[in-house]
Structure 1
Amino acid sequence: MNNYKYVSLEKENYITTVTINNPPANVLSINCIAELRSIFHELSNDDETRVIIITGEGRFFIAGADIKEFVSRLGDQEQGLALAEGGQALCDEIESMNKPVIAAINGPALGGGLELVMSCHLRIISERASVGLPELKLGLIPTFGGTQRLRKITNTSTAMELILSSRTLLANEAVELKIAQLAVKEDELLKTAKAIATSLVKGKSMTSVMRAVECIIQGNNESMEQGLERERKRFAELFLTADAKEGVHAFVEKRTPDFKHS
């Protein structure tokens, strides 16, 4: 799991930190996107990973897609479609992970970087970081899901203004618009992210955590009726698990549950 070119991984207490390391600006090249997709697929099946934190090495979180790769592909619609599909697939896979994914935004997250951020389940931002979708300045539009996720996170009018103006938001503005949940001092970022990550799974069964994440994320794209049906089914499934039996009995017996995550 450590032989990656653009990313480094660190595991500690069931928290896996994924650090983008593609200097100087951590851009999402085609190969970097492919590597990230491979990593998230691997982590989804890794019993030693219960929460994922994604951050950037150095001054940037992710400055965006690798625009230099666009040059040779301009004039070819199929190449443009392939670029969009690759970025969307990565963001879709992150969003649909059944384990919590936290973005620790250490520096500028622009274009595809912000689109990746918005696909994460929770988002913490350094006070020195900034976010934005500047694609219209290139004669393009956000295409890793930015037009849709920003609209859902904020609202249609706010997404319209931010995308059409191409303006960059400071950390406090990002929190005000719910693009991030929390802004912290630069040297507190990873410590805070890890504390939150621990709180999400400590004392809980991963069999229930994973189903809760699934219901919340999948319900975002379903009707209320469909979301409630999924919730009922996952709740009923948990009635068959050893962890549910342990959790309920531990509560009744006033003791700490000993979950086996099964």
Structure 2
Amino acid sequence: MKFNNILVSQNKGLASITINRPKKLNALNKETIEDLSNVFQTLEEDSNIKVIILTGAGEKAFVAGADISEFAHFSVNEGGSLARKGQEMLFNLVENLSTPVIAAVNGFALGGGLELAMACHFRVASDNAKMGLPEVSLGVIPGYGGTQRLPQLVGKGKAMEMIMTAGMISADEAKDWGLVNHVTSQEELIPLAEKIASKIMRNSLVAITAAITAVNANFEDGINGFDIEIEEFGNCFGTEDFKEGTTAFLEKRKPNFPNN
């Protein structure tokens, strides 16, 4: 797979996506969003890919925001269309991917960059990372799901403060607030993400997909997450992975999941 703004590598079921615009601090422009959408869809359809790690090129930024020059002169309708298309094309796509996605936040994750990290299933960060949603300083609000996902992760009050002040928080603060799961050095960031990915890949990927569906259901309007959990739990009983997992447990051996 070749793209203008991202790099993709694969190794033993693990795919790594690197947003590669270091001179622009990996800012999200239209082409990059399209590239990311295409690569996530391609990897989702590849049965050999078990986990995806998303990061940014260089040591300064994961994604420092959206490319403001592309929409500075948009009309009301164009602005609304930009947000809707971006959410549908990339951010909602990532959140609902059945393949686990880990964001490895290696520096600034601001605006659309933090929104992209929040769309991933969870986040690890380097100790130099800075995160924030500075949109109100530009006279606009987050448009790629930031006003919705940030309160889910850190609570309404913290989210309101971050959005209203347009300030940045450190990696340690992000961990304390529940925005990221782990903080480590820049050098150990990708190895840590890979270590977590290897743990994920030992388990039933069929069950993990069901868990993603159930967890996400709790945040959908009009959906009873408990009902979805019951449905997905029941569906697991009809899978080969369930048969192998329970048999291996009873036989006191490690499972060899057929769908892994």
TM-score (structure 1 length as normaliser) = 0.93
For 2:256, give the aligned amino acid: D
2:205 is aligned to: 206
How many Å apart are 1:170 and its aligned residue?
Answer: 1.1
Q: Distance in 2 between matches of 1:61 and 1:11?
A: 20
1:64 equivalent in structure 2 = 65
After TM superposition, list the pairs within 5 Å mapping 1:131-210 onto structure 2.
131-202=131-202, 204-210=203-209
Distance 1:43 1:111 in 2: 25
Alpha-carbon shift at residue 135 of structure 1 (Å): 0.8
Partner of 2:20: 21
Instruction: Name the SS of the counterpart of 2:113 in structure 1.
Output: helix
Once the two structures are TM-superposed, the CA of residue 42 in structure 1 deviates from its matched residue by: 1.4
**Equivalent in the alignment of 1:44:** 44
Deviations 1:220-248 (A, max 9, x none): 3257x822221222222222222211211
The question of whether the paired residues in 2 share the 8 Å contact of 1:84 and 1:143 is answered with yes
Partner of 2:257: 259
Mapped contact 2:217–2:224 kept (Cα < 8 A): no
- The root-mean-square deviation of aligned C-alpha atoms, in Å, is 1.5
Mapped to 2, the partners of 1:222 and 1:87 lie a distance apart of 20
**Structure 2: distance between partners of 1:246 and 1:148:** 39
CA distance in 2, matches of 1:237, 1:220: 21
Deviates more, 1:80-89 or 1:32-41: 80-89
- The separation in 2 between residues aligned to 1:255 and 1:184, in whole angstroms, is 34
Deviates more, 1:84-93 or 1:225-234: 225-234
Aligned partner of 2:232 among 228, 234, 242: 234
Asked if structure 2 preserves the Cα contact closer than 8 Å seen for 1:30 and 1:83, the reply is no
Q: CA deviation at 1:28?
A: 0.6
Is the alpha carbon distance of 1:239 and 1:222 closer, same or farther for their aligned partners in structure 2, counting shifts above 3 Å? Answer: farther
Deviation at 1:219, TM superposition (A): 2.5
| 8 Å contact kept, 1:201–1:209 | no
CA shift digits 1:81-116 (9 cap, x unpaired): 121113322111111111211100011011100011
CA distance in 1, matches of 2:206, 2:199: 16
The aligned residue for residue 4 of structure 1 is 3
Which segments of 5 or more consecutive residues in structure 2 lack a partner in the other structure? none
Q: Is the 8 A contact 2:125 2:184 kept in 1?
A: yes
Alignment of 1:75-114 (within 5 A): 76-89=75-88, 90-114=90-114
Give how far 1:256 is off.
2.0
Paired with 1:249 and 1:222, the residues of 2 have a C-alpha distance of: 38
Partners of 1:105 and 1:124 within 8 A in 2: yes
Partner SS for 1:244: helix
Percentage of matched positions with identical amino acids: 38
Q: Distance in 2 between matches of 1:214 and 1:55?
A: 24
**Amino acid aligned to 1:109:** A
Q: Is the 8 A contact 1:33 1:86 kept in 2?
A: no
Give structure 1 regions of 4+ aligned residues with deviation exceeding 6 angstroms.
none
Compute the TM-score of the two structures, normalised by the length of structure 2: 0.94
Amino acid across the alignment from 1:241? T
